């Protein structure tokens, strides 16, 4: 743990030094070619699955080792520092390091970075067209999800899913809709004091009111004072068996398609991230 804190300080210090240096030198260092490269990320995913997932989880969700996606102190490190952690481990902790040739370690680094970046910045390989077909056809996804003006309203609009979520999280949302334990979009039934019952999808609730969405997509508000009881479904209304119903390739293609759904093009996402 001590070494972790030390590294955090070191990262902060080098950040400050970087700000000073930036006054004279405006040229940022070019990232290693593996970073953001779909093939390298895919190779890294396989290395990660065999060497790291046992502790960090298949999509970096954490376990014996810390969560690597969405959060984590490694986000404050530059690519070289992350590479070193992955290659050599963190001394005096359970983090062993991979000790593999540099090329493989860079692939793993590219994958770990992709875990914490929006999918559009590190889109996985796959047949995008085919993914789109599955989305509107075999998968029946468009029945519930909107995408650029088409599709249903029984689930979140996915027009910016690739700009907000990492490819790993998108994949997990498809094969395991209950993994993310939010209650929004769950089926809900409200019994009011006047005896009437309202059913729909839960969109929001706080101490004072509950918002539900009816089958037509319209939102209704019920005040807490009106509500006698609330019954909330325990699981997501999204089918939980896509991992079985879709082949591995269909799933890869679907994730590749969704990863490209962003309201901003990749270049501007990268530019605003300061890279
Ligand atoms: C035996 C379990 C184990 C294995 C295998 C493992 N790790 Fe770790 N990893 C850990 C633990 C525990 C930590 C936290 C160490 C500490 O206390 O700072 C960690 C920390 C990290 C960190 C820093 C995370 C942060 O934000 O603090 C990264 C990045 C990382 N591991 C990547 C990997 C990669 C990539 C692999 C595969 C090459 C891997 N790990 C293999 C257990 C493991
Ligand atoms: C019966 C309606 C329904 C169907 C069919 C459905 N979904 Fe969903 N989906 C939802 C709902 C509701 C949520 C939000 C709650 C949750 O995460 O479970 C959701 C969440 C998601 C998310 C996470 C969105 C986010 O903002 O993080 C993704 C990605 C997704 N679905 C993709 C798909 C894909 C791909 C298919 C087809 C293979 C599909 N869904 C089929 C209802 C559906």
Q: How far is the CA of 118 from the centre of ligand 2 (A)?
A: 17
> How far is the CA of 134 from the CAs of 4, 122, 153, 249, in angstroms?
44, 22, 18, 11
Residue 147, classed as helix, strand or coil, is strand
Token duo for residue 172: 């997990």
- Global confidence as pTM: 0.74
- 44 touches ligand 2 (CB under 6 Å): no
User: Rg of the chain over CA atoms, in angstroms?
Assistant: 22
The pLDDT of residue 24:
44
DSSP reduced 3-state for 227:
strand
Q: Which of 4, 5, 56 has most ligand 1 atoms within 8 Å of CB, for mutation?
A: 56
- Residue 93 contacts by C-beta under 8 Å, 6 or more apart in sequence? 1, 3, 4
Domains of the chain: 2-116 (1.10.760.10), 128-177+238-272 (1.10.760.10), 187-232 (2.30.30.100)
The three-point CA angle 70-246-138 to 5° equals 110
Strand, helix or coil at 271? Answer: helix
Predicted confidence (pLDDT) per residue in 17-34, tens digit: 444 444 444 556 788 999
Q: Cβ distance 187 to 201 under 8 Å?
A: yes
| Rounded Cα–Cα distance for residues 88 and 139 (Å) | 42
Q: What is the spatial distance between Cα 215 and Cα 118, in angstroms, rounded to a whole number? A: 31
pLDDT tens, 238-270?
A: 999 999 999 999 999 999 999 999 987 655 555
Q: What is the pLDDT of residue 14?
A: 42
CB 133 within 8 A of CB 89: no
| 131 Cα–ligand 2 center, Å | 15
Question: Ligand 1 site: residues with CB under 6 angstroms?
Answer: 1, 4, 48, 51-52, 54-56, 64-66, 68, 72-74, 82, 85-86, 90, 93-96, 98, 108, 112
- 49 falls in which pLDDT band (50, 70, 90)? very high
- 80-112 pLDDT, tens digit each: 999 999 999 999 999 999 999 999 999 999 999
Sheet architecture: strand order including 219-223 = 219-223, 209-213, 197-205, 187-192, 227-232
Average pLDDT score over the chain: 84
Alpha carbon distance 220, 80 (integer Å): 51
147 in ligand 2 pocket by Cβ < 6 Å?
no
| Atom number in ligand 1 closest to CA 98 | 38
Query: Do residues 53 and 168 touch, judged by C-beta distance below 8 A?
Result: no
User: What pLDDT, in 10s, does the model give residues 147-191?
Assistant: 989 999 999 999 999 988 888 889 989 998 987 767 889 999 999
End-to-end CA distance of the chain: 30
Interval between CA 173 and ligand 2 midpoint (Å): 7
CA 77/CA 113 separation, integer angstroms: 11
Instruction: Provide the 8-state DSSP code for 60.
Output: S
Tell me which residue has its CA closest to atom 27 in ligand 1: 73
Half-sphere exposure at residue 131, Cβ-oriented, CA atoms within 13 angstroms? 20
Burial of 140 (0-12, 13-18, 19+ CB in 10 A): middle
Pocket test of ligand 2: the residue of 130, 135, 177 to mutate, having most ligand atoms within 8 Å of its CB, is 177
Tokens 């006047």 -> residue: 194
Cα(47)–Cα(54) distance, rounded to whole angstroms?
12
SS3 73: helix
Q: Rounded distance, CA 189 to CA 37, Å?
A: 46
The H or E element containing residue 212 is: strand 209-213
Q: Is the CB of 173 under 6 A from ligand 2?
A: yes
CA 223 to chain centroid, in Å, comes to: 33
């Amino acid at each position: 743990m001590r070494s972790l804190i030390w590294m955090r300080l070191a990262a902060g210090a080098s950040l400050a030094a970087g700000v000073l240096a930036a006054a004279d030198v405006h040229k940022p260092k070019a990232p290693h070619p593996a970073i953001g490269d779909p093939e390298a990320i895919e190779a890294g995913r396989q290395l990660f699955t065999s060497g790291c997932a046992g502790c960090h989880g298949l999509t970096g969700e954490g376990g014996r080792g810390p969560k690597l996606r969405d959060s984590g102190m490694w986000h404050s490190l530059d690519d070289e520092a992350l590479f070193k952690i992955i290659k050599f481990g963190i001394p005096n902790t359970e983090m062993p390091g991979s000790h593999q040739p540099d090329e493989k370690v860079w692939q793993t680094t590219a994958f770990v970075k992709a875990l914490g970046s929006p999918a559009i910045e590190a889109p996985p390989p796959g047949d995008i067209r085919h993914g789109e077909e599955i989305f509107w056809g075999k998968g029946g996804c468009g029945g519930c999800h909107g995408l650029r003006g088409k599709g249903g309203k029984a689930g979140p609009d996915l027009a910016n899913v690739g700009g907000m979520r990492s490819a790993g999280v998108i994949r997990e949302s498809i094969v395991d809709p209950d993994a993310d334990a939010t209650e929004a979009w769950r089926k809900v039934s409200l019994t009011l004091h006047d005896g009437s019952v309202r059913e729909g999808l839960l969109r929001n609730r706080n101490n004072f009111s509950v918002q539900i969405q009816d089958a037509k997509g319209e939102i209704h508000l019920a005040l807490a004072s009106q509500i006698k009881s609330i019954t909330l479904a325990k699981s997501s209304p999204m089918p939980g068996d896509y991992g079985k119903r879709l082949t591995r390739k269909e799933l890869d293609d679907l994730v590749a398609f969704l990863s490209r759904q962003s309201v901003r093009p990749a270049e501007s996402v990268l530019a605003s991230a300061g890279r």
